[in-house]
Amino acid sequence: MDPLRNPYTPNAGAMPAVLAGRADELLAFEVLLARLRAGRTEQSLIVTGLRGVGKTVLLEEFRKRAVGEGWVALEAEVSKSTDFGPRMAMLTRRGLLQISPRARWDDRMRKAAGVLRSFTVTMGPDGSLSAGLDVDAQPGLADSGNLAEDLTDVLVALGEVAKEKGTGVVFLFDEMQFLSRQELEALVAGLHKTVQRALPITLVGAGLPLIPELTGEAKSYSERLFKFPSIGHLVGVEAIAALVGPAQEEGADLDPEVVEHILEYTDGYPYFIQEYGKFVWEAAPHSPITLQDALDAEPAIEDHLDASFFRVRADRSTDAELRYLRAMAEMGAGPHKAHDVAGMLGSTSEQQGPMRARLISKGLLFSPGYGLAAFTVPQFDRFMRRCYPDLLSLPPNKARPAQRRRRGGV
C-alpha cells in the first residue's frame, strides 16, 4: 500500500497515531498539575519501563498537556556525558525567561535571576550560562559549591516566581537512570524543599526499572516524594487499538487472524507494534491486510530489529559481557537468579558479580529483586539466541564471533 500514507511511527519517541493504554498515567499527571496549581502538594512522577514501551512518548504527551495548561515545560535527556549542574542552570534560565520577558521583570524576578547568577558562577565561571540576565549575584544563595544546597536555592527561587506569576514549572527528564548518585541527591533535595513550601514546581521523569532503587539510595524519603508508575506491554483492546487504530484512520483494515498473529509476535510492546505495522503496511498490496502479508514481511522486520534496535545494545558489550547475556538468554526472558547464570558459565555468582554490575550500569540489565537480573530490552533473549547461537560453546576469551542469522520465527 501507499508508503506515503503509512500511519505507523516506529521512530524513537515519535507520537503514535493512537496512544493506547496510558490513561492512568495521563490522569495522574493532570491531577499533579491541578493540585500544585491549587497550592496543594502532590508527588512527582517518574515513569519506569523497559525499552520500547513508550516512556519518551508519554513524556511528550505530558509536555503538550502542561503547555496547554499554561505551565512552563523544561525538557532534558540525561546522559553520562552531560554535566548536570550547567544543564540545570540552562533550564532554569530558560524557565525564568518563559515565565516573564526580561523587560518586565519585577524585584522578585530579578532576585531569582540573581540566585541563578550565583549558581552559574559556580557551575560555569565564564559567564556563558547567565548570558542575558544582566543582574548581580545574590550573596549567600546558591554559591556554596555544594550541588544539593545550591540547586535547592535555585529551584525554590524558580518556584516562588512561578507562584507569583500564576503559573508553574515542570521539568521533564528522560533517561533518568544515567544521573549519578550525587546528581540524584541534589535533585531530590531541591524538589523536597519546593514541596515543603508548596511551590508549583515538579519533576516528571522517565527511566529504566532500576530508577526507584537508585532514588531510594540517593535519599531515604524518595518513596514519599515520587510515584513510580510502571508501564509495559499492551494487552487486550488496548493492544488491538494500537495496531488497528492507525490503519483504520487511513481507511484500511486488518483481518482478525493477522491482528492475533502480530500481537503474539510483538508481545504487545508498543515499539514492536509500530515496527511490524510499518513493514506489513508496505508489504500488503491492498486492504484488508492479511496473515500472508504479515508472514511475507516478517523476515525483513526481524532483520531490521536485529540490525538496529537490538544490535546497538549488543555492540556496547565486551565479549565477556556478551557471554553473560547469552547465558541469560539461554534460560529465556527472565528474570534469572545470578547463581543460575553463573552456573551456565561454569562460574560462581561472586565471580560474575562485577560483570553483572557492569551490565546494569550500561543499562542492559536491571535487578527486579535481590539476586535477580532481567533484560531491559524486550525480546533480547530471542535476539541473542538468533545472532549468537554458538557463543556459549566458544572459549571464554574467544574474539567476538561472527553472527549467524536464521530467518522466520523468533
Q: What angle do CA 290, 293, 298 make, to 5 degrees?
A: 130
The whole-number pLDDT of residue 402 equals: 46
Measured between alpha carbons, how far is 207 from 55 in angstroms, rounded to an integer?
8
Neighbouring C-beta atoms of residue 80, cutoff 10 Å: 11
Splitting the chain (410 residues) into consecutive groups of 10 residues, what average pLDDT does each group show? 94 91 97 95 96 96 97 95 90 94 89 93 64 80 93 97 96 95 94 96 95 87 91 97 97 97 97 97 96 96 94 91 96 94 92 93 91 95 94 69 43
Measured distance CA(122)–CA(17) in Å, rounded = 45
CATH class belonging to 316-393: mainly alpha
Element (H, E) at 31: helix 23-37
Q: Give the whole-angstrom CA distance, residue 320 versus residue 380.
A: 17
Query: What pLDDT score was predicted for residue 399?
Result: 44
- Burial of 314 by CB count in 10 Å (0-12 exposed, 13-18 middle, 19+ buried)? buried
Cβ density class 147-164: b for 16+ within 10 Å, e for less: bbbbbbbbbbbbbbbbbe
Query: CATH classification of 23-227, choosing from 3.30.420.40, 3.30.450.20, 3.40.50.300, 3.20.20.100?
Result: 3.40.50.300
